[in-house]
Amino acid sequence: MRWLDKPYNSLHAMLLERFGEKVYKLSLNGGMTCPNRDGTLDTRGCIFCSAGGSGDFAADSALSITAQIEQQKAILQRKRPVGKFIAYFQAYTNTYGTLEHLRSIFTEAISHPDIIALSIGTRPDCLETEVIALLSKLNQQKPIWVELGLQTIHPKTATYIRRGYPLECFRDAVLTLQEEGIDVIAHTILGLPNETNDDVLATIAYLNELPIQGIKLQLLHVLKNTDLATDYEAGNFQVFTMEEYLSLLITCLEQLSPKIVIHRLTGDGPKDLLIAPTWSSAKRSLLNELHRRMQIQDTWQGRLYRKEV
C-alpha cells in the first residue's frame, strides 16, 4: 500500500516507495546514432527530432560515462540534497551500437555506487537477441528500464513522422522484454499533425492492453531546423493551446490503467530551439493547473486526492 502524491500514479511516488527517498535522472550520452540518421532507414531522422536526437539536455558524449555522471550530479547537488540517481541514456538510439560498446557503457553506469537504476531510450527495432540478453543480465544487478518510442499506433501518422517500423515490432519488443522481467516505458506524442483526440485515445487504449510499466505523455514541440518546423511554418497544422492540451491530457490520465506509472506529462523543448507552442515553456504552471483541476474533479466525484492503491 502506498499514498499517491498526485491524482495519478506518478513516477515520484513510485520512486519514493521503491527506493525510500527522492531520486533524480542523470541524462547521459552513449555516443550512438540512429538507423533513421545513418542511412540504414533514412538520413533525416524522425520529422520532429532535433539534431541532438532528443538528447538536447544530455551530457557531453566526449566524456566518459563516469565523468558524465559526476558532472550531472554536481549540477543537481548545487540545487538540492540528493544522493540517488537513475542513469538515463537519452540521446539518439541507445541500443544501436556494438554489443561490446553497450556492455562497456551500461556496466560502467550500473557500477557507480550512486546509480540505482538504468533507463535506456531506444527503438523497438534495435533490440537484438544479444542486446536483450545483456540487459537481462544487468537487470539482475540493478533495475533496467527500456524506454521505447511508439508515439502513435496509427500507420498513416507513423509514416508521416518517419518512425520506420510497424506497430507489430513495438508489440513484439514489449512482450520479449516482459518475458525477461525488464520494465518498459512507452513514449507517446500528443498533438501529432492530423491526429484527432480519438486517435490519441486509441493509442492509450492499445497501451492499456500491453504489459508496460510506464508511459511518457509528450506534448508535440516544433523545434527549429526540423522538417516538422517546415510544415508548421507552411501552415499545414496547428499546435495545441494550453487549454486543449490540458483537456486531452486529463482524459488520457483518466483512461490509462492505474497500474501504469506516469513518467512525463508534457516535456521540455530547448528554449533556443522551440518554435511552438511557446506556452509550453511554463511547465510548472501547466502542471499546477492540471493538478488543481484533477483535485477538484476527484473531490466532486467523492474520491480522495491522496488515495491508497
Tell me the per-residue pLDDT of 90-132, one tens digit each, with 9 for 90 and over.
989 999 999 999 999 999 999 999 999 999 999 999 999 999 9
Q: Which of 59-68, 172-181, 217-226, 252-261 has the lowest mean pLDDT?
A: 59-68
pLDDT tens track for 239-277: 999 999 999 999 999 999 999 999 999 987 788 999 999
- pLDDT at position 294 is 87
Query: Which CATH homologous superfamily contains domain 11-300?
Result: Aldolase class I (3.20.20.70)
- pLDDT at position 55 is 46
Check pLDDT > 90 for residue 30: yes
The more confidently predicted of residues 43 and 58 is 43
Residues in a beta bridge with 183: 145
- pLDDT at position 123 is 97
Check pLDDT > 70 for residue 155: yes
Check pLDDT > 50 for residue 178: yes
pLDDT tens track for 204-247: 999 999 999 999 999 999 999 999 999 999 999 999 999 999 99
Check pLDDT > 90 for residue 81: no
Check pLDDT > 50 for residue 1: no
- pLDDT at position 57 is 57
Average pLDDT, the chain: 91
- pLDDT at position 2 is 44
Check pLDDT > 90 for residue 56: no
Question: Which pTM was predicted?
Answer: 0.91
